[in-house]
Structure 1
Amino acid sequence: MAAFTVRPLDTSTWEAFALLVEENNGVWGGCWCMGFHVRVGKGRTPAQNRADKHQRVRDGRTHAALVFDGERCAGWCQFGSPAELPEIKSRRRYDKDLIALPDWRVTCMFTGKGQRRRGVADAALGGALAEIARLGGGTVEGYPEETDDRTLSGSFLHTGPMAAFENHGFTRTRPLSPHRWVVTRTVAPA
């Protein structure tokens, strides 16, 4: 596994983040990692998503752990409060069995082309959990995809692979679909 460094997404790391997104076609067709902040799709352009993400970074209203291989951003793990990241997939199924909202959500993971299968997702999730601890800790939820019995394109793993979450101490709480779960973990404050 490569030796990576992890830094938070902020104004000092925006350019490295933006370069990775641009090199990967805006990520998932121009989402710019906005899909859990607001509903993306019809009526929203990649340029609008980029501008909105950049404004959120300047305002301190978005969180991500960026993984660096030297000076280049290789990937990230987005996290935030439910108020910051209100849009989740399978909302009806999620709400049906909801007992209490978590303090934090881990919603999106991305690894750039040529960087996959090197431990970027694992480093990104570990970095996100360290940032959550630094920010006070609490209950953390993720929504990973189970991949043990099938092969998937990376585009289907935008919420992360189950193995990465289980390696970081998350437990399966309830299913959201045949292959996606709500997983939880409590993180102590740093």
Structure 2
Amino acid sequence: MSIDVLPATGHWDDFATFMVPRKPGGGGCVCMSYRDARLGMPERIEYMRSECSAEPGPGVLAYLDGEVAGWCSVAPKSTYRRLMNSRTIPHLDEERDPWSIVCFVVRGGFRKRGLMHDLLDGAVEHARVSGAALVEGYPVDTGGERVDVISGYVGTVALFEKHGFSRVQATDAHSGATQRWVMRRELG
């Protein structure tokens, strides 16, 4: 099994295969929930197409034996409108603009293979190569229990801890009924 994690820049068609609704009028976030959820579907699609055409891009894609299998959104926190205006996920300092890891998507048929670990490593490396000195995420603290796919899109505290992140502050945010944490990893 060969796994590659690559920046989404130049890979719009791969991103679109599972992140863009297939039917006209279909729902979905197109990974715009944190960027600007006010936009309609055509505008969301065009925004992400544009993001995928320029550096540093909106995130990373995981490929399993050459087939796109997963996605992780990672970009400077300042590019995520919802995070910048959040009442539940705090800003820990105003002087720094950490790169934020806000979501993971693993396609059906590729789950339970550990791809979130590969996506997280790839997201951190992409941030580092792009000049980030600090990366943060907002995962759920499951207390070791399994979490449903919908609530787990933000990752788990255990996942982030395994990849060198530290808990910094509990938030008022929840995914499902589970509390989320600000977790950070210094890169510089």
When normalised by structure 1's length, the TM-score is 0.83
- Do the aligned residues in 2 keep the contact of 1:30 with 1:49 (CA within 8 Å)? no
1:187 maps to what in 2? 187
Q: Distance in 2 between matches of 1:72 and 1:147?
A: 30
- Do the aligned residues in 1 keep the contact of 2:7 with 2:57 (CA within 8 Å)? no
2:120 maps to what in 1? 125
Residue number among 85, 106, 109 corresponding to 2:80 in the alignment: 85
Q: Distance in 2 between matches of 1:90 and 1:52?
A: 20
Residue number among 42, 46, 52 corresponding to 2:41 in the alignment: 46
1:98 aligns with 2:92: yes
Instruction: Give the unaligned 5+ runs of structure 1.
Output: none
The CA deviation at 1:59 is 3.7
Aligned residues: 181
Structure 1 residues 25 and 98 mapped into 2: Cα distance closer, same or farther (>3 Å)? farther
Q: Distance in 2 between matches of 1:14 and 1:137?
A: 23
For the residue of structure 2 that corresponds to 1:141, the secondary structure is strand
1:107 maps to what in 2? 102
Q: Distance in 2 between matches of 1:45 and 1:67?
A: 27
Q: Which runs of 4+ in 1 moved over 6 A?
A: 23-26
2:175 maps to what in 1? none
- After superposition, the C-alpha distances for 1:34-64 in whole angstroms (9 at most, x for unaligned) are 1121124xxx433332222112222436331
Q: Distance in 1 between matches of 2:187 and 2:86?
A: 24
- After superposition, the C-alpha distances for 1:71-118 in whole angstroms (9 at most, x for unaligned) are 2111111111122223229922334x6333442111111111121111
Instruction: Give the unaligned 5+ runs of structure 2.
Output: 173-177
Q: Distance in 2 between matches of 1:114 and 1:147?
A: 24
- Do the aligned residues in 1 keep the contact of 2:9 with 2:51 (CA within 8 Å)? no
Match for 1:129: what amino acid? Answer: V
Q: Distance in 1 between matches of 2:79 and 2:27?
A: 22
When normalised by structure 2's length, the TM-score is 0.83
Q: Distance in 1 between matches of 2:131 and 2:155?
A: 23
